[in-house]
Amino acid sequence: MRKLIFFLAVSVSAQQIGTNARPANDPGVTFKASSQLVIETVVVKDKNGKNVEGLTAKDFAITEDNIAQPIKFFEFQKVIEEAASLPDINKVQPFARLAHTQIAPEPPGETKYRDRRLLALYFDMTAMQLPDQVRAFAAARKFVKSQMTSADLMAIMTFSGGAVRVLQDFTANRERLDATLQTLIIGEDENAPPLANDPAAADTGAAFGQDDGEFSVFTTDRQLAALQTAARMLGQLNEKKSLIYFAGGMRLNGVDNQAQLNATVNAAVRSGVSFWPVDARGLVAEAPLGDATKGSPGGIGMYTGASALSAASNFQRSQDTLYTLASDTGGKAFLNGNNLDAGIVQAQQSVTSYYILGYYTSNENLDGKFRRVKVTLTNGLAAKLDYRQGYYAGKQFNKFSVSDKERQLEDALMLGDPITELTIAMELGFFQLNRAEYFVPLIIKIPGSELALARKGGAEHTRIDFIGEVKDEFGSTIQNVRDKVDIKLSDSTAAELSKRPIQYDTGFTLLPGKYVVKFLARDAETGRIGTYINKFTIPNLNKEDKRIPISSVVLSSQRVNLKDALFNASKEKDKSENTNPLVLDGQKLIPSVTRVFSRAREMFIYLQAYQPTAAESQPLISYVTFYSDGVKSFETQPMVVTDVLPNRLRTMPLKFSLPLSKLQPGEYVVQVTVLDPATQKAAYWQAPVMVIP
């Protein structure tokens, strides 16, 4: 159930391109509005293949689209190859699964990992069968134990369950890395089955159904999008980064995945990340009709050779994608080899000493177009330069495609650092539905003054995108919501938008426990995003025996007819309205998120009390008290409640309608008291409120 109600009652910034870095304490830099800093990492080698050291910024020249760019930031990174003494990590005992972390960004203008080699191990659990996972984890542990050097810093990332997780940020602590690898669970996620219309697919005898090819398209897109997310995480660091991608191949579905493949490669290039795919299947010698791990294919293809040809073609195509990811980002794919740790070693040996050059591009257009970069030496030295040949510029929100906009919301949702460009407020509650489930209404309020209006079809309108998720205390996503609304406004209501808020509400059905809700709202006209995060607990009222079990208390100053709602997520009657306790007789109670009330209006208070263990429902007594500085300012007469809803919980709704004209403007604490004379039990609830003239 989702509804939207419209109530009628000079900064300077520098956008960072490349590896997202910004030099500090540079007196020669003049910050301009919307300036874009581009970072290039350059490896210089002589004719013998040895690194050239001792160069300065004056020895380099940079052009972007044949236009000279002054170098504003210069630094040399000397990677030392000396091996460090390795402790005996075999004595380290595995421990519980580590909490998920984030790739910590570098402070502006600093190179946090100077003279170090950054290697990120990335395990795609959705693209590896069980034997592949075993080989990948073993290879990673072997490298950490015996091949990691003092110059190496390593991070561990996984993709499973639809999310990219950073299990370990960059560290040189081999014990911690090995212990983290030991926490990885074999079989946590398994590869999708082959396409149903593939001649090489096993004949399971199942009835005909929907073509699995439709789902494979999205599976590959999700795998590529996860790599894109990982690249952007690593892009917060200035240095060169190598992402070692363990997977059991990746198969594109024609041109269906091409857009996401390009977006992933562009994100890696822009972030200074090179992909080093490792085919975890190793050296494969497959029987023409498959091995004993799967059923034999059926049909005429068994006899014409189509099945064997299809199997070989599929295998080749899965490796072609890995090769493309590597070659387009400056890495190298490790294919058809059983010694998987050699794939990590080749990524390790590829990173040697290099120079970091930064410049502010003279082209400030955020058009998303490719810009060709050329770096040369001005000192006449004959040397080979290895660097990024160009990058895609950032894009303004009004130039985003539909997929870009969706990606922006998804990335913002997973960020540990919330985006707060748009001011939003949120309130949660809980109401017991039955012995196990609770309805949790969620209300979001956005100031109308922060939203942009646009002309469409001759009328003013405003558009808002919503995305949110509820996670349990273990970090698992329990519920989520994705919604977008387009509200047409008349001339009069459009004028009121700058003074009144827009309120959006939805609801979840949850079990008792501890949760975290994260909700984002985006102005679809400007791309500005607001984030709200809240931890909340749903108590198990079935175990409450000392007090009267009550729901959360809703304070409101407005009731709205459902037919008058400006937006309803469902054209038809929403079934969840039947379970929403805030909907009574076609009227919906709108909670006051900010709890600011006018003396000229009434305050509505609503809650529920439950008597599930009583043989018969007993009358309850309830009243409301207002306190100011600890002194009672106003109290209602006791109200006897006898109405009972027809359910097994014997739910008793408690409703108050209070005129606030008797209260002077100011801050108060409102208390709701519920008494049960038969059992001598009571329940209390308090909250601060503000009364304005």
Where are the extended beta strands (E) located within 140-207?
152-160, 163-171
Structure confidence at residue 407 (pLDDT): 77
Q: How far apart are CA 47 and CA 51, in angstroms?
A: 10
The three-state secondary structure class of 233 is helix
Joined together, the tokens standing for residue 507 give 């609801």
The model carries a pTM of 0.55
Q: Closest Cα partner for 407 from 234, 251, 164, 228?
A: 228
Just give the CATH number of 544-693: 2.60.40.2550
Look at the domain 399-540 and name its fold. Answer: Immunoglobulin-like (2.60.40)
Q: Looking up tokens 């001598």, which residue turns up?
A: 680
CA separation for the pair 682, 19 (Å, rounded): 60
Q: What is the pLDDT of residues 466-522, one digit of tens each?
A: 988 999 988 888 988 888 887 777 666 666 666 677 788 888 899 999 999 988 888
The 3-state DSSP class for residue 472 equals: strand
Question: How far, CA to CA in Å, does 328 sit from each of 261, 272, 274, 325, 387?
Answer: 10, 12, 8, 6, 13
The distance from CA 179 to its chain's CA centroid, rounded to whole angstroms, is 26
Reference 275, options 318, 241, 301, 252; nearest CA is 241
d(CA 163, CA 233): 13
| Tens of pLDDT, residues 84-123 | 444 444 444 444 444 556 788 876 556 678 888 899 999 9
The β-bridge relationship of strands 354-360 and 71-77 is: antiparallel
Tokens representing residue 354 in the block: 């290099």
User: What is the domain partition of the chain in residue ranges?
Assistant: 16-78+355-395, 97-200+213-351, 399-540, 544-693
- Other residues' Cβ atoms within 10 Å of the Cβ of residue 426: 18
| Topology agreement, domain 97-200+213-351 and domain 544-693 | no
Look up the CATH number of domain 16-78+355-395: 2.60.40
Positions of the chain with pLDDT lower than 70, given as ranges: 1-35, 81-101, 107-111, 187-218, 253-257, 259, 286-303, 305-308, 310-311, 367-368, 394-396, 398-399, 415-418, 453-459, 490-499, 562-579
Round to whole Å and give the CA distance between 567 and 417: 31
CATH H-level superfamily of 97-200+213-351: von Willebrand factor, type A domain (3.40.50.410)
Q: What is the C-alpha separation between 244 and 241, in angstroms, rounded?
A: 10
